[in-house]
């Protein structure tokens, strides 16, 4: 059925209007928000969780990894799940079960139970991202589809920024359990309420054969790859036999998965949507630009908290300016994307992100709060120009019946790109810091003037060594941060160029306004 069919179309559900429309939009946007939020909200809580449950901090990171694995498995399955059981039914059950497993996470008395509950929370959270997107586009009238894309895009961009702030505040003022329990009333309450509002959009299920081989291959290679990305830095990457073995499993599993899915008559993941050049180019642009954005989003609070003396809350407040300015610009971008060729909008948006990131390569350890926050606020101006039109182009390039599969694959690639960015950025940052430190040691205090001043100040030789090492470490971290930002800036510029490979859309969002 068509989400934007006219009321006169036989068999088409009447579109929601007025308060019902915006209430449904709020619930769908909230679903996407909490699914994306849970990628980052637990990051700052790991030390608290590990301490409370009697586990090592290195074991506590499994709280993050387990959710990422579960989510990465079900995101690309969304199209098949929606086809077999109906998109509204899958969405509602995913929401309710997400809330249930959030409660189990919050009440867990052991790390083992928490990790298992996080896997299931991730499995339930996976379909929420693509289905909230496609359902938003189906319940909005045709002329307001751009607004639907804008709403969904902003929850996707703002949630990773809000996550560390909210997680830090809950851990500091309450307890780690609330990092998970806070999801429950939203997920369960909105899930049940959504069924009442949207069951008219529930389509008939199609009982196609289950591609068990494709499903098994997907679980194997995605789980192996996610473990490599999450645990690689802790295990010294390819110096670890475990990482080497997992990498081989991921590579072989991925190759077998591609071959099987492209030849199976009823694939579990419909890879044929990549035949649309507009979809492929848009997803490639989103992949590189979102990876770069996620890299900045990971590195900035890490640098601020580890070496600039910021608390988790203060670091969150600095990075939050990206989301604040983005929210102001998003409505205007959504309207522009529905009326004009979206490619120049995407190009300009990513260009702003790239140039702002390059602006940040001259950062120093003497910077104040606003010196850090202002470039981040400027980045926020570029984010809606990048994400809203590129999302509309991607979903506007596929057939209506391919919508759920396309949304699932787009979100899957975006999620993986964020995981790759996190691993690569943190590893390169750490390695560059070590390299810079070694180089600065050879250059520092060649004429002995610094040590002379320290001696005159009454410092012992040991205290002098510690003071010099602290100064060198601070400067080597600052250099490393600027060097990584330069690399991220170049990736942004590359992503901006990719979008011109897409064909000019006849109508940026109209083809994506359909359902099944």
C-alpha dihedral, 361 to 366 to 369 to 373, nearest 10°: -10
CA dihedral 495, 500, 501, 504 (to 10 degrees): 140
pTM of the full structure: 0.80
> How far apart, in whole angstroms, are the C-alpha atoms of residue 191 and residue 108?
23
Range 17-205 has CATH code 1.20.1250.20: yes
Looking at domain 273-505, its CATH class is: mainly alpha
In the prediction, which pLDDT does 100 show? Answer: 95
pLDDT at 5 over 50: no
What are residue 509's phi and psi, to 5 degrees?
Answer: -125, -10
Lowest mean pLDDT among 5-9, 123-127, 181-185, 504-508: 5-9
How far apart CA 94 and CA 168 sit, in angstroms, is 27
Query: Residue 511 above 70 pLDDT?
Result: no
- The domain locations on the chain are 17-205, 210-265, 273-505
Residue 178: other Cβ atoms inside 10 A: 17
> Is it the case that residue 251 has pLDDT exceeding 90?
yes
**Higher pLDDT, residue 398 or 161:** 398
Dist CA 62 CA 78 (whole Å) = 25
Q: Do domains 17-205 and 273-505 have the same CATH topology?
A: yes
pLDDT band of 120, cuts 50, 70, 90: very high
Mean pLDDT to the nearest integer, 132-148: 80
């Amino acid at each position: 059925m068509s989400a934007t069919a006219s009321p006169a179309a036989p068999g088409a559900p009447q579109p929601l209007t007025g308060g019902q429309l915006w209430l449904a939009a709020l619930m769908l946007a909230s679903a996407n928000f909490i699914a994306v939020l849970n990628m980052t909200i637990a990051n700052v809580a790991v030390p608290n969780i590990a301490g409370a449950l009697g586990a090592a901090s290195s074991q506590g990171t499994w709280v993050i990894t387990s959710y990422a694995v579960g989510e990465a498995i079900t995101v690309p399955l969304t199209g098949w799940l929606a086809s077999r059981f109906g998109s509204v039914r899958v969405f509602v059950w995913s929401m309710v079960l997400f809330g249930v497993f959030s409660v189990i996470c919050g009440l867990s008395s052991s790390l083992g139970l928490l990790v298992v509950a996080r896997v299931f929370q991730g499995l339930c959270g996976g379909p929420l991202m693509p289905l909230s997107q496609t359902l938003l586009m189906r319940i909005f009238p045709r002329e307001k589809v751009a607004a639907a894309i804008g709403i969904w895009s902003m929850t996707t961009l703002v949630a990773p920024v809000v996550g560390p702030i909210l997680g830090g505040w809950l851990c500091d003022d309450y307890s780690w359990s609330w990092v998970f329990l806070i999801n429950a009333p939203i997920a369960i309450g909105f899930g049940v309420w959504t069924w009442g509002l949207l069951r008219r959009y529930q389509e008939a299920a199609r009982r196609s054969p289950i591609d068990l081989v494709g499903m098994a291959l997907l679980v194997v290679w995605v789980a192996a790859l996610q473990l490599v990305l999450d645990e690689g830095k802790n295990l010294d990457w390819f110096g670890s036999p475990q990482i080497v073995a997992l990498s081989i499993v991921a590579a072989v599993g991925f190759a077998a998965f591609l071959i099987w899915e492209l030849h199976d008559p009823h694939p579990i993941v419909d890879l044929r949507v990549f035949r649309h050049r507009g979809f492929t180019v848009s997803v490639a642009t989103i992949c590189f630009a979102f990876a770069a954005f996620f890299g900045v989003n990971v590195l900035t609070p890490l640098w601020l908290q580890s070496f600039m003396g910021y608390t988790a809350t203060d670091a969150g407040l600095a990075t939050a300016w990206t989301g604040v300015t983005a929210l102001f610009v998003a409505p205007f971008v959504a309207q522009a994307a529905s009326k004009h060729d979206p490619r120049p909008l995407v190009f300009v948006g990513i260009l702003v992100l790239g140039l702002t990131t390059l602006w940040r390569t001259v950062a120093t350890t003497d910077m104040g709060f606003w010196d850090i926050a202002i470039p981040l606020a400027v980045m926020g101006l570029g984010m809606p120009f990048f994400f809203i039109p590129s999302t509309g182009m991607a979903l506007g390039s596929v057939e209506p019946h391919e919508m759920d599969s396309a949304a699932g694959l787009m979100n899957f690639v975006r999620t993986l790109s964020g995981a790759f960015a996190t691993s690569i950025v943190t590893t390169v940052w750490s390695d560059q810091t070590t390299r810079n430190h070694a180089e600065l040691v050879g250059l520092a205090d060649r004429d002995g003037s610094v040590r002379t001043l320290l001696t005159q100040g009454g410092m012992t030789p040991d205290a002098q060594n510690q003071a010099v090492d602290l100064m060198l470490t601070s400067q080597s971290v600052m250099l490393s941060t600027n060097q990584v930002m330069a690399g991220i800036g170049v990736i942004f510029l590359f992503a901006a160029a990719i979008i011109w490979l897409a064909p000019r859309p006849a109508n940026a969002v109209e083809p994506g306004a359909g359902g099944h």
